[in-house]
Amino acid sequence: MPVSALQPERREWCAQLRELASGRLRPLAEKGEPGRVNRPLVAALGEFGLLARVFPAPGEDRVSALDLCLLRESLAMECTEAETALALQGLGAYPVVQSGSREQRERWIPEVVAGRAVAAFALSEPGAGSDAAALVLAAEPDGEAGWRLSGEKCWISNAPEADFYTVFARTGEGAGARGVTAFLVPADRPGLSGEHLDMLSPHPIGTVCFDGVPVSRADLLGEPGHGFGVAMRTLNLFRPSVGAFAVGMAQAALDATLAHAARRTAFGGPLKDLQSVSHQLAEMATRTEAARLLVHAAAAAYDSDAPDIAKRSAMAKLLATETAQYVVDAAVQIHGARALQHGHLLEHLYREVRAPRIYEGATEVQRTIIAKELYR
């Protein structure tokens, strides 16, 4: 990482991560089927101890957001599939860490960390994406037994292949966010089904359908009516690291373009000597570094319990994902038609880079959060 503020040991760790990703993880990713969970890749993330870095160490109550960002950026530079598989494990299981019972944590977290169980975060619905508090998945009371879940979740990463889902449903304690409860739902519950969705980005995503799925108080994550807070606390941690994922993709695109512009000749010399190209490269590099610094600042705010975590997280995700889209698009333009060939790095990044501007809060949602926080 070209950020001088990082300690030497962290810079060395990032270099080791990139080497591991390119040498050991990328071959596993290339053997996977697009749009499906790559269990050998997830298992390797556990074997190499990377999934353990997503969750608090024994005796600790939280994870370092800066280390999570460095981990995601480093993996993204070399193997986006490995980065995404790691991030989805964290997103799906972190609510269990922060709000689950001891029994839930002991049952599932070791399996997730080892790469043996696949987790999913089931918040979005066909009519409740950006407006997550408008979700309608119903948790109907079922006498003394608990509740039964009825409805559909949509655009859920790792669905329908996950081994368990963190599910947010409406129990009705109040309107909007106040009536949402979080549940841990194993995939083998009766009435639970789903199907794959064929999306632009290559990571696994699908729907989850609930037909009277039984859940009890033992499945609660936190208290009834407080599930929206469970979701937002998880997103406050992972939003800056979505920005780190975006920065990693931007850096990979920038590195490829610097190399291409140095060796490709046109109009009597290398592309890099054309002012239009060199100025574009300078803009790409500057925006990437600015996004990286904002991501690191947001991570530092999280790690220090700063009062403006929500604002900084939103700013980091906003700037980094928009920057990555710009940088990858500019890289494609400089490379020309070759970058659009299937199998080219930039063709892959072009498909990957679009989704982060939508998931975990679209760009417009981040601007809304920032504006509200400015007046808080």
Task: Say if residues 272 and 288 touch (Cβ distance below 8 Å).
Answer: no
Active site residue 289: no
Q: Provide the H-helix boundaries in the chain.
A: 8-20, 26-31, 39-47, 65-78, 80-99, 102-113, 227-263, 275-303, 309-335, 345-352, 363-374
Q: Which tokens sit at 310?
A: 């929500």
Q: Which two tokens stand for residue 3?
A: 């950020």
Q: How many C-beta atoms surround the C-beta of residue 270 within 10 A?
A: 15
- Distance separating alpha carbons of residues 177 and 183, to the nearest angstrom: 15
Q: Phi and psi for 185 in degrees, rounded to 5?
A: -120, 110
Bridge-based pairing of strands 265-266 and 205-215 is unpaired
Interhelix angle 275-303/65-78, nearest 10 degrees: 150
Sequence-distant (6+) residues with CB within 8 A of 212 are: 148, 149, 150, 191
Pull the structure tokens for residue 132: 């997550």
Q: Which of 73, 81, 360, 373 is catalytic?
A: 360
Amino acid in position 342: H
d(CA 11, CA 18): 11
Scanning the structure block, which residue is given the tokens 């039964």? 148
CB atoms within 10 A of CB 47: 13
Report CA dihedral (63, 64, 70, 75) to the nearest 10 degrees. Answer: -10
Nearest to 119 by CA among 128, 110, 127: 110
- Residues shown for the chain: 376
Give the 3-state secondary structure percentages of the chain, helix then strand then coil, rounded to 5: 60, 15, 25
> What are the residues whose beta carbons fall under 8 Å from the beta carbon of 295, sequence distance 6 or more?
69, 73, 240, 241, 243, 244, 247, 316, 320
Q: Is the CB of residue 187 less than 8 Å from the CB of residue 142?
A: no
SS3 210: strand
| Residues known to be catalytic | 360
